[in-house]
Amino acid sequence: MKKLKQAAALLAAASMVVASLAGCGNKTAETAAPEEAQGSAEGTWKIGGIGPTTGGAAVYGLAVKNAMELATKEINEAGGINGHQVEISFEDDEHDAEKSVNAYNSLKDWGMQMLVGTVTSAPCTAVVEKTHEDNMFHLTPSGSAVESIKYDNAFRVCFSDPNQGVASAQYIGENGLASKVAVIYDSSDVYSSGIYEKFAGEAANQDFEIVAAEAFTADNKTDFSVQLQKAKDAGAEMVFLPIYYTEASLILKQASTMGFAPKFFGCDGLDGLLAVENFDTSLAEGVMLLTPFAADADDDMTKKFVAAFEENYKDTPNQFAADAYDAMYTIKAAVEKANITPDMSVSDLCDAMKTAMTEITVEGLTGTITWTADGEPDKDPKAVVIEGGAYKAM
Amino acid sequence: MKTKKINMNKTTKSNLITYGLVIVAFAVMQVLMATGNVSSLMKGLLVPLCTYAILAVSLNLVVGILGELSLGHAGFMCVGAFSSAFFSKCMVDVIPVSGLRFFLAILVGAGVAAVFGILIGIPVLRLKGDYLAIVTLAFGEIIKNLINVFFIGKDSKGFHFSMKDAMSLHMEADGQVIVNGPQGITGTPNDSTFLIGIILLLITLFIVLNLIHSRAGRAIMSIRDNRIAAESVGINITKYKMMAFTISASLAGVAGVLYAHNLATLSAQPKNFGYNMSIMILVYVVLGGIGNIRGSMIAAVILTLLPELLRFLSDYRMLIYAIVLIAMMLFNWSPKSLELRERYSPKRLLKARREAKEGK
Amino acid sequence: MSFISYLINGISLGSVYAIIALGYTMVYGIAKMLNFAHGDVIMVGGYVVLTIVTGMGLSPMVGILAAVVACTVLGVVIERVAYKPLRNAASSLAVLITAIGVSYLLQNVALLIFGADTKSFTSVVSVPAVVLAGGALTISGETIVTILACIVIMVGLTLFINKSKAGQAMLAVSEDKGAAQLMGINVNGTIALTFAIGSALAAVASVLLCSAYPSLTPYTGAMPGIKAFVAAVFGGIGSIPGAMIGGILLGVIEILGKAYISSQMADAIVFAVLIVVLLVKPTGILGKQVQEKV
């Protein structure tokens, strides 16, 4: 009898597999056609996005997704790019390299012509390998590791990790903000450890000393008392936080509980701190950060973007959203510069975009950006300080 | 004697069905690919499907055949992945033939994972039940944590090693960081192919199925069913436990090799090498049927495909996945559902009808 | 001085693990299942308190009560729908896997309802911090309340199990389900009651966890859940005082490991200590050694 049960279970399982495989076959028959024809028949731009919309990093992926939608809506209302409407599709990668490649393949089946993604660094490094193979234009809003854009078809909107680390060290050194600096970083995160390394390297050339460098990991990020205690014992006047704002909000709270009040200095990952729902912003008083974007800057473009974002998604946009919004307008600018149309093949589009990218200047939310051929953006980091619960330029 | 012969034939037949299933799946995919009927998504999933099937089969050896709950299987996969990727990265210029290099990489991955299997097996297998489970989980987490603090670089003077950061490697200007802590290894040659994946899966099945039906396999199962009785008839408990555990670890290492050479980046995240992954592999095993090798393979395929096929649901994807997982578990395991399924199973209905005809 | 300060930090982290481990070990001791969804029930409790206290502006007491009610109902529903049908399944692993399914389900439901962004939690504890040695040592109000709550719950649970009728029924069910049924004990009811109590404890834990570490996301419960599982095993799973001792030891080891060995390897150190403890004492610190019979 037991054998019979097993057989029945297996039969059920096997039929599911067959059904799913058959499902795949059918689906591809439809989607393969436009791919063969190279370009979509209706003459719309098909731009794909990849990022985590579930899992621990979902907050970054969702921000990018929403900002891409917002930018697309605006672009389409203003007549599209080169007279063609834009269609976007955003796939989840759960912040995992393998899932990210799956998401990329899935977007290819959809008929994607250009990729905005991936949101996080490690998956981006895996995906850039595939976009390079297919010669697909690849613009990541926020993949900041050096390897994430190692091929000539890939560009990014955000600063690279080394760039941020060096810039932070120089800023602290040149402005004489402190002489003893402690660092608390996430050693399991590519972004954070990348910045820390370059920061420590550049610190040797600057007029301050790193008195403590303490790490935490993704599995161990609720309690920071030890890291703070060590910074305190080492007599640090400033704590450098090359981390994301979620952990930073905990660090600020725990430092205040301990009665430890150094200056805090962070990178673009700290942006979003003030938008944490229910966060006691007085804890963040005096925190300095180098960020290309501040949600309460008073230029018209930022104001318009923040208002539209808050209206549509009930949420204050963070730096990821700003980078993604800029990415969409960058594509628009480059396409217009190259004067290309959606009926061209993916590879031809990419070749045209590669040249156009180095020729354009984008006035974006995150500054005035130009690109070099290696894909790195050239823009100025802005240093801001939090005063009275709002950012202020320094 | 007669019954035994029929039994033998049954197991042989069952084994052949298992191999046949894999080969037919391979052939079908090849035909579909040749006729251009396979989506890019599906093509990209072929190697991962083999990887997870191998993992499921190898874990089933410990959970189903040896009867011990291991929650650290991803740790062995991690060891295999990193050691082989390190090997390939170093040898990329020395051995330009990708086939040979990958073959050696597989041996390295399997070998290192087996060594870890022995080292971890010695303390772990002294424990029982949930305590054994938690210690395997602990070892898995330790491996993941340690990999994240490894920095290995290579320059003209040889290898440099550090457990602090890349700067403390103190390399010459021409140095290249191979294992870069949390960034792991990037730029591993992309050697995994579907054909190699299928061959490795077949080899895994061959090893596991042969082991189960050998003298050693029966000894292992006797330990599972009654340890004390097995000991009293002179079976060397430690030896057979270690055997199953080590083979399983080594096969997980092979899966790791396949994983590492399929992606350009390899880093030990909680998502891919943490306890989450170990538990996911366990889900394949339990869903497919504990001790049922073919079932765990099929479950691995279904559960890897499912979230990808649910992509059209966008935001609701993982929610539906969770519900389907619970529903499948209840359908496959709940005594009530089994009873219902038996009552209405086509075979039984046919049999009942035949019996009625014969007037029994 | 810094050692004492680390020790205090360790105890405050450990007290949070301990209070989660109490619920974990309670369910394990009676239902003999590892409830992987326990951490996520805590997360749900956190969102309930947040919604009521911050969203509706009601008093923290109302929030805590609502969280206890919500978690209890949730726990009982989960038990009825996902665990009970598998209680007599051929392998005890089946229910472990559905627990994982439930854990994914709760995380994703929370993700859809509350979004992925971090919410900051206003502490509901109004006890002031104790400052010693002229400001060099601080014991936060949250720590004091958590440790007191731990002790109260531990004593309460022990009394409940040993003195009350329902508690005795729980003990009987954990010893031998079949025999308990024959003695006229309502096994299903007793297990449902266990889940209700375990989930109510999760609600209390959620309030204290979020007060001590005020950041809440749909994945907040996952890691503390696993740590509490480790703590429960550390102390001897199924043993109520063991859960408390295990939790506090785990916190202290974690903090001291970070402070004196390496902050990058804190997890490896915790797990290494766990392995050593289990090798010396295979059933945890206060675990019962069960004699094997042929």
Q: Which residue carries 């996080």 as its tokens?
A: A120
How far apart CA C86 and CA B96 sit, in angstroms, is 54
- The reply to whether A1 touches chain B by the CB within 8 Å rule is yes
| Residues B66 and B224 sit within 8 Å (Cβ to Cβ) | yes
Stretch A323-339: mean pLDDT, rounded?
94
| Residues B269 and A218 sit within 8 Å (Cβ to Cβ) | yes
How far apart CA C220 and CA C106 sit, in angstroms, is 12
Three-state secondary structure string covering A77-90: HCCCECCECEEEEE
Query: Nearest by CB to C122, which of A58, A225, A278?
Result: A278
Burial of A360 (0-12, 13-18, 19+ CB in 10 A): middle
CA geometry: angle A74, A75, A78, nearest 5 deg: 85
Q: How far is CA B136 from CA B123, B171, C73, C103, C244, in A?
A: 10, 36, 34, 21, 23
CA C158 to chain centre: 16
R_g over Cα of chain B: 23
Q: Which residues share a beta bridge with A114? A: A47, A137
Residue C178 makes CB contacts below 8 A (sequence gap 6+) with none
Taking 90 as the threshold, does the pLDDT of residue A265 lie above it? yes
CATH number of A162-291: 3.40.50.2300
Taking 60 as the threshold, does the pLDDT of residue A19 lie above it? no
To which CATH superfamily is domain A45-159+299-379 assigned?
Response regulator (3.40.50.2300)
R_g over Cα of chain C: 19
Between chains, do C120 and A280 touch, taking CB under 8 Å as contact? yes
- The reply to whether A77 touches chain C by the CB within 8 Å rule is no
| Residues A290 and A267 sit within 8 Å (Cβ to Cβ) | yes
- pLDDT above 70 covers a percentage of chain B that reads 97
Q: Of chain A residues 312-341, which have a CB less than 8 A from chain C?
A: 315
Chain C nearest-CA residue for A257: C140
How far apart CA B227 and CA B87 sit, in angstroms, is 40
Give the side-chain half-sphere CA count within 13 A for C289. 7
User: How many angstroms separate the CA of residue A190 from the nearest CA in chain B?
Assistant: 5
- The reply to whether C213 touches chain A by the CB within 8 Å rule is yes
Q: How far is CA A334 from CA A3, A19, A302, A340, C68, in A?
A: 64, 43, 21, 9, 56
Chain C nearest-CA residue for B339: C89
Burial of C84 (0-12, 13-18, 19+ CB in 10 A): middle
Q: Which residue carries 């005020």 as its tokens?
A: C214
- The reply to whether C233 touches chain B by the CB within 8 Å rule is yes
Q: Tell whether the torsion through CA atoms of C18, B121, B73 and B322 is positive or negative.
A: negative
How far apart CA C125 and CA C128 sit, in angstroms, is 8
Stretch B47-59: mean pLDDT, rounded?
96
Between chains, do A190 and B182 touch, taking CB under 8 Å as contact? yes
- The reply to whether C157 touches chain B by the CB within 8 Å rule is no
Query: Nearest by CB to C230, which of B134, B283, B322?
Result: B134
Taking 50 as the threshold, does the pLDDT of residue A260 lie above it? yes
| Residues B286 and C97 sit within 8 Å (Cβ to Cβ) | yes
Write out chain C's pLDDT in tens, 294 residues: 678 888 988 998 898 899 899 888 888 888 888 888 999 999 999 999 999 988 888 888 899 999 999 999 999 999 999 999 998 887 888 888 899 999 999 999 999 999 888 888 888 877 788 877 666 777 888 888 988 999 999 999 999 999 999 999 998 998 888 899 999 999 999 999 999 999 999 999 999 998 888 889 998 888 888 888 889 888 888 888 999 999 999 999 999 999 998 888 888 898 999 899 888 888 888 877 665 555
pLDDT score of A270: 84
Between chains, do C266 and A217 touch, taking CB under 8 Å as contact? yes
Between chains, do B334 and C267 touch, taking CB under 8 Å as contact? no
Identity of residue B62: V
- The reply to whether B68 touches chain C by the CB within 8 Å rule is no
How far apart CA B133 and CA B149 sit, in angstroms, is 25
Among C113, C144, C264, C267, which would you mutate to test the A interface (most chain A Cβ atoms within 10 Å of its Cβ)? C264
C123 domain residue, yes or no: yes
Q: How many CB atoms lie within 10 A of CB A341?
A: 15
What is the average pLDDT value for chain B, to the nearest integer?
A: 89
Between chains, do B149 and C262 touch, taking CB under 8 Å as contact? yes
How far apart CA C73 and CA A165 sit, in angstroms, is 50
Give the side-chain half-sphere CA count within 13 A for B218. 4
Chain C hits for A56, Cβ within 8 Å:
217, 219
Identity of residue C126: S
Which one has a higher pLDDT value, B200 or C266? B200
C209 domain residue, yes or no: yes
Query: Nearest by CB to A9, which of B40, B265, B332?
Result: B332
Domain range for C181 is: 15-220
- The reply to whether B162 touches chain A by the CB within 8 Å rule is no
User: How many angstroms separate the CA of residue C231 from the nearest CA in chain A?
Assistant: 15
| Residues B101 and B88 sit within 8 Å (Cβ to Cβ) | yes
Q: What are the tens digits of pLDDT across the range B298-315?
A: 999 999 999 999 888 878
Residue C230 makes CB contacts below 8 A (sequence gap 6+) with B134, B138, C246, C250, C270, C271, C274
Taking 60 as the threshold, does the pLDDT of residue A253 lie above it? yes
User: How many angstroms separate the CA of residue C119 from the nearest CA in chain B?
Assistant: 20
C267 domain residue, yes or no: no
Number of domains comprising chain C: 1
Among B142, B222, B281, which would you mutate to test the C interface (most chain C Cβ atoms within 10 Å of its Cβ)? B142
**And the tokens for B284?**
């394949």
Q: Of chain A residues 266-325, which have a CB less than 8 A from chain B?
A: none
How far apart CA A392 and CA B16 sit, in angstroms, is 72
Query: Nearest by CB to B141, which of C98, C108, C271?
Result: C271
- The reply to whether A219 touches chain C by the CB within 8 Å rule is yes
Among B38, B77, B265, which would you mutate to test the A interface (most chain A Cβ atoms within 10 Å of its Cβ)? B265
User: How many angstroms separate the CA of residue C12 from the nearest CA in chain A?
Assistant: 10
- The reply to whether C129 touches chain A by the CB within 8 Å rule is yes
Give the side-chain half-sphere CA count within 13 A for A296. 14
How far apart CA C75 and CA C66 sit, in angstroms, is 14
Q: Which residues share a beta bridge with A140? A: A156
Give the ipTM of the model, two decimals please.
Answer: 0.89
Q: Dihedrals φ, ψ of A159, to 5°? A: -70, 155
Between chains, do A225 and C9 touch, taking CB under 8 Å as contact? yes
Chain A hits for C214, Cβ within 8 Å:
249-250, 253
- The reply to whether C149 touches chain B by the CB within 8 Å rule is no
Q: How many CB atoms lie within 10 A of CB B144?
A: 27
Secondary-structure class of domain B39-357 per CATH: mainly alpha
| Residues B322 and B310 sit within 8 Å (Cβ to Cβ) | no
Between chains, do A96 and B348 touch, taking CB under 8 Å as contact? no
Which one has a higher pLDDT value, B114 or B91? B114
What is the average pLDDT value for chain A, to the nearest integer?
A: 84
Q: How many Cβ pairs within 8 Å bridge chains A and B?
A: 166
Query: Nearest by CB to B326, which of C82, C109, C264?
Result: C82
- The reply to whether A202 touches chain B by the CB within 8 Å rule is no
Q: How many CB atoms lie within 10 A of CB B348?
A: 15
Q: For B66-70, B105-109, B197-201, B251-255, which range has the lowest pLDDT when averaged over its residues? A: B66-70
Chain B nearest-CA residue for C93: B286
Q: What are the tens digits of pLDDT across the range A149-185?
A: 989 999 999 888 888 899 899 999 988 888 999 999 9
CA A27 to chain centre: 31
Chains linked to C by 3 or more Cβ pairs within 8 Å: A, B
Would you report the helix, strand and coil content of chain B in percent, each value rounded to 5?
Answer: 75, 5, 20
User: How many angstroms separate the CA of residue A383 from the nearest CA in chain C?
Assistant: 24
Query: Nearest by CB to B40, which of A29, A55, A105?
Result: A105
Taking 70 as the threshold, does the pLDDT of residue A27 lie above it? no
DSSP class of B167: G
Q: How many CB atoms lie within 10 A of CB B115?
A: 16
Which one has a higher pLDDT value, A357 or A27? A357
Q: Which run of H or of E encompasses B197?
A: helix B194-212
| Residues A122 and A82 sit within 8 Å (Cβ to Cβ) | no
Among A96, A105, A120, which would you mutate to test the B interface (most chain B Cβ atoms within 10 Å of its Cβ)? A105
Q: Which run of H or of E encompasses A4?
A: helix A2-37
How far apart CA B132 and CA C53 sit, in angstroms, is 42
Between chains, do B342 and A190 touch, taking CB under 8 Å as contact? no
Residue A374 makes CB contacts below 8 A (sequence gap 6+) with A149, A152
Chain A hits for B265, Cβ within 8 Å:
97, 122-123, 125-126, 147
CA geometry: angle A18, A98, B23, nearest 5 deg: 35
C244 domain residue, yes or no: no
Chain C hits for A227, Cβ within 8 Å:
258, 263
How far apart CA C272 and CA C265 sit, in angstroms, is 10
Chain B hits for A101, Cβ within 8 Å:
44, 263
Residue A371 makes CB contacts below 8 A (sequence gap 6+) with A155, A357, A358, A360, A377, A378
Q: What are the tens digits of pLDDT across the range A119-140?
A: 988 899 999 999 999 999 999 9
Q: Of chain C residues 53-72, which have a CB less than 8 A from chain A?
A: 54
- The reply to whether B197 touches chain A by the CB within 8 Å rule is no
Chain A hits for C223, Cβ within 8 Å:
219, 222
Domain range summary for chain B, segments of one domain joined by +: 39-357
- The reply to whether C116 touches chain B by the CB within 8 Å rule is no
| Residues A11 and A5 sit within 8 Å (Cβ to Cβ) | no
| Residues B80 and B255 sit within 8 Å (Cβ to Cβ) | yes
Q: How confident is the model at residue A30 (pLDDT cuts 50, 70, 90)?
A: very low
R_g over Cα of chain A: 23
